[in-house]
Each structure stands twice: as C-alpha cells, then as structure tokens.
C-alpha cells in the first residue's frame, strides 16, 4: 500500500515541518523578549530584575530547552510514540506561554 503524499513528500514530513516551525518561532520569540521583559522596570511593564539575575534565568532557560530533548526523545521513542509526543509537547509549550501571560512571578516561573 502506497503511503499518502503531501506535495510529493511523505505525510509525516508535513507534521514534522510545522511542529518544528512553530517550536522554533516560539523559542526565538521568547529568546528575543525574555531578558528585555525581565530587566524592564515594573512600570514599562517588566519585572525589574537586575541584569545579572535576568541573564542567569535566561541561561538556565536556554540550557533546559536543549537538555529536555534527551528525556523527551526517550519518552517519545520508548513510551508514548512520536505522534503523542509532538501533541503533548505542543500543549506543554502553549500552556507555558499562556501561563507566562498571567500576572505574577509564580506564573512567570511556572511558564518557563
């Protein structure tokens, strides 16, 4: 039985492409604004963190983005499958961004 194609490519490639595209847009959007938001004064709006604290948080965030691929890949390969892993990962990313939109430091750190 022939696999369904999408513009001459396997159907799964479209899912992979759009998942990676939105994940990268999310990451680079967060990367561009996170430190500026943390160091902005409370009236701008911002969190008013000192530069050193903001860059430390940013560094930990970036480290965790790349390190979580290891257990995430293991879970996807061994436990839940690729389709469910992509779906659950997308839900986690979206809920993190929505949580960061709620005012308050506990929501900010939970969303990260």
Distance CA(100)–CA(112), nearest Å, equals 7
pLDDT tens string 76-105: 889 998 888 888 888 888 898 899 888 888
10: β partners: 5
Q: What ranges do the domains of the chain cover?
A: 15-111
Distance CA(89)–CA(94), nearest Å, equals 9
Low-confidence ranges of the chain (pLDDT < 70): 1-3, 42
- Residue 77, classed as helix, strand or coil, is helix
pTM for the whole structure: 0.75
């Amino acid at each position: 039985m022939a696999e369904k194609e999408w513009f001459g490519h396997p159907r799964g490639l479209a899912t992979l492409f759009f998942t990676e595209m939105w994940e990268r847009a999310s990451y680079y959007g967060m990367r561009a604004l996170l430190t500026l938001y943390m160091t902005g004064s409370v009236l701008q709006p911002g969190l008013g963190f000192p530069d050193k604290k903001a860059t430390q948080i940013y560094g930990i965030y970036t480290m965790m983005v790349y390190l979580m691929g290891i257990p995430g890949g293991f879970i996807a390969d061994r436990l839940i499958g690729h389709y469910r892993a992509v779906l659950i990962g997308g839900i986690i990313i979206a809920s993190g961004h929505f949580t960061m939109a709620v005012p308050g430091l506990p929501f900010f750190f939970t969303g990260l």
